[in-house]
Structure 1
Amino acid sequence: MDLFTKNPRLQAIREVLIELASGNLTYALPRSAHDDDTEALVLLINKVIEEFQKLLNADVFLNPHSSYQFVTRVVFIIDEHFKICNFNAGAPSFFEVDPDVLTNTPVATLLAPPSHTLWHTFTTQFLSQKRNCQTMELYFKTKGPLYLKMHTAISKLLYPHKEQPFMVMTIMELLPTDQLAHPLEHSYISTLSGYEYQEAVSQPQEKPTKEVVLHAEKTYEYIMKHLTDPTLTIPDIAKALHTNSSKLSSEFRQVFHKSIPEFKREQQLRISKVYLEALPTSIHTIALKAGFKTAAHFTRVFKAHYGVTPSEYLNTLYRM
């Protein structure tokens, strides 16, 4: 690790590779006056990033940043002991077990070792918190040697009798939209309160025009290049791209299906998680590198999203 911290050029290469591995193609390495193997590597990495950008921009209507959709695979009704009381018809086939095996089974028995510590921390805190919903990524066991990483949401339900189950656990898979055989006619969506569910019928949406997609892509690139600026605002972006805030926000939402602040916060959390896993540095440094004003602000936002503080998340990594 000392080799990286003492050599700024190697440090820059590592950070760009981390960004590249996480899907961010907006960075490039600065050139230097050196004529050595490190500079040759800089040229190669920049060339790889450039070729990736060409591939992704070959078809302007292909939006690589928003071409995926969450599909619900499993729904559990769980009690206050986090045991499964009921489940949807697809749950047994998903886990490749008989229905009787799932009934009254603790959720923990379905989890793979990398998620044991996170699940223990969650179950010991969730019931006593005012929060009604928690999302996290969990690793589940399979029949083979591999683990299955799934997005999971757990929501409290309100019942008049305490002896009844009062939580819903939804296990979702992120799939490319072109892999969905048919458009979803019905889906369940949760409100922000985390316990109310309502049926929603999906409506066909008009395809964004070429101009709108190009504008949204420019906004995406600008945000990613200035992600570490905690003072960045929508008017700032609009001014830099020679447009107005209303048009900028509208076009971005048409393509990415979320607001600019939502997208920026998601990217900050994503890259901070990558930094925590890859960089041997302090929480304060990671907070600043990810674009948060202070370590305290970063800790609050991280815990609100992932259910654990950055320090607690690091502890789970070290225990694996």
Structure 2
Amino acid sequence: MENITYNGRLNKVLQLLIELSRGNFSYRLERSDKRDELEALSAMVNIVAEEIKDSFLHQGYVNMHDSYMHMVQMIFFLDETFKITYINQDVTKLLHWENSELLDQPMVNLLEKKSILKWVDLTKSLCSDHDFESEMRLVFKTKTNLQLPAYCKIVDLPQVENSIVRYMLISSDIIKNTKLYERKLQSKILKQIRLTKHKHPVEEKSFLNISDLETFRAIGNFLKNNLDKSAPSLQELAHEFGTNEYKLKKGFKELFGMTVFQFLKNERLRNAHVLVKSSNEPFKRIARQNGFKNATHFSREFKARYGYTPRDLRANS
């Protein structure tokens, strides 16, 4: 029996690795109270999945392609007893359940243990307050034994005669907007075609050469590796890496799509987000490790970036 349980847990790890290889970074492994090597591996794989997702999103923001967008992912319509009456195609795509397996099933059947407790409390509030609308983080169970954390909103819908639909639950995520990127690429190619037909096409030259690229990448790595240190001035950075302040300001923004100090702030918040979510470190220590003046300053900047506080994130992780 113990070997069967171990093999089942191992298969879940392999399933998550397969999803990661397909570019699906939103899934996670269910944690257990066991203290063996496989549980340590599960924790590590979850952290890696989180890091990869954060890195991809960060890279999208850095390159300024506008190639990531916030959009509705899953939609559930529920009746007054919170049974599923309708789902969109993304539900079956992400959770791997067939449409027929979910319709008329209680919503609670799709949730992991901790989320069930949240859901029960929420449904009580919904039943007592008909104008109630709430947002919360729920963790869904997939048919392949993985977990899908998602920030959700549930709305009490206006009542329509003879309609069995009472509530709507939607989840959202930041995903790759390939169509937008393809349109931009198409526009760029058409522009180049028009320029070649002109007698004297205007050639757009980058401000950077190969040596500059290496220098600014080195500066980016230096900033990432010294998040706890006070931010050096542009003059100090330029002198340290053998360039000048003007080239640093212009070239760094051309390469990363943001100023040096925007980049540093971005990295500090991204690193802090991972620590808040995957560790029990006090917020004061996390703030200090990432170069913030104090926990209050850290919490304010964190909420401005993510829309929720470090305390909210940890309470729902």
TM-score by length of 2: 0.47
The structure that is helix-richer by fraction is 2
TM-score by length of 1: 0.46
Q: Which has the larger radius of gyration?
A: 2
